Amino acid sequence: MKLLEGKTALITGASRGIGHGIALKFAEHGANIAFTYLSSVEKGEALVKELEAFGIKAKGYRSDAANFKAAEELVNSVVADFGTVDVLVNNAGITRDTLLMRMSEEQWDEVMNANLKSVFNLTKAVQKPMLKQRKGSIINMSSIIGVKGNAGQSNYAASKAGIIGFTKSIAQELGSRNIRCNALAPGFIETEMTDALDPKIVEGWRSSIPLKRGGTVEDVANATVFLASDMSAYVSGQVINVCGGLLT
């Protein structure tokens, strides 16, 4: 069953990792896909072809989600190209991990701008087309680190916790217009990034998870499909942990 047929989704940061997986899963479910990337130009261009193979319309845009004006221009372009935006997935994010003692102002600002300000920028920009059509689903990628904190990630944790407060507020502001806003909080998701880690550390993480495995990109993408689809029509203002039971 295709759950997103006829919907247009805008996904930020889809050139790699979780965003890439979400774009493929959305296309499999029949959505037309507008997506962004920043530095991975070749991967972004390759993704268009991968998505078109599902028989849907796809277009990639090189756009910095941390830039307010660029976000506004992006949404205008997507509306011009696709006619509307039904689903926004604020997925783009970065880490600049270090202990507070060593953290520079730049490392703080970079993470807050790419992870939190980006969510404000894009949500504000899609508000107009979503209000006009009186429907929409906004999905913000938080993290269990934003719920429980983590030593060496105070900038990242603060940005991801900020996303949760923002999500709950927007759900309350826009609910009367049939616009839903939810957050996903993935746990330990195994990607190319984690492949590079010491296998002993990875094994330690896996054994601490009740389901005894790291999450896959597909696990997160499936939860995103649920929030994007009408299956979640009565779900708004929620944070769904996709963490194998690590947080309860």
Query: Is 156 one of the annotated active-site residues of the chain?
Result: yes
Q: Residue 12 or 236: which CB sits closer to ligand NAP? A: 12
Using CB under 6 A as the binding rule, whether residue 13 contacts ligand NAP is answered as yes
In the bound state with ligand NAP, the residue whose beta carbon lies nearer, of 18 and 31, is: 18
Q: Residue 30: what residue type?
A: G
State phi, psi for 198 to the nearest 5 degrees: -60, 120
Asked whether position 111 contacts ligand NAP by CB under 6 A, the answer is no
Residue 60 in contact with ligand NAP, rule: CB under 6 A: no
Restricted to residues 179-208, the positions that interact with ligand NAP (CB under 6 A) are: 186, 188-189, 191, 193
- For position 36 contacting ligand NAP by CB under 6 A, the verdict is yes
Nearest-angstrom CA–CA distance, 121 and 138: 13
Give CA–CA dist 232/151, Å, rounded. 34
Active-site residue among 37, 61, 156, 234?
156
Q: Report d(CA 215, CA 200) in Å as an integer.
A: 17
Residue of 190, 185, 189 whose CA lies nearest to 241: 185
Nearest-angstrom CA–CA distance, 146 and 153: 10
Task: Output the six-digit token pair for 147.
Answer: 């719920």
Nearer to ligand NAP, 122 or 170 (CB): 122
Q: Using CA atoms, how far apart are residues 135 and 54, in angstroms rounded to an integer?
A: 25
Q: Give 3 or 18: the residue with its C-beta nearer to ligand NAP.
A: 18
The reply to whether 123 sits near ligand NAP by the rule CB under 6 A is: no
Binding positions for ligand NAP, rule: CB under 6 A: 12-19, 36-40, 64-66, 91-94, 114, 141, 143, 186, 188-189, 191, 193
**Which active-site residues does the annotation give?**
156
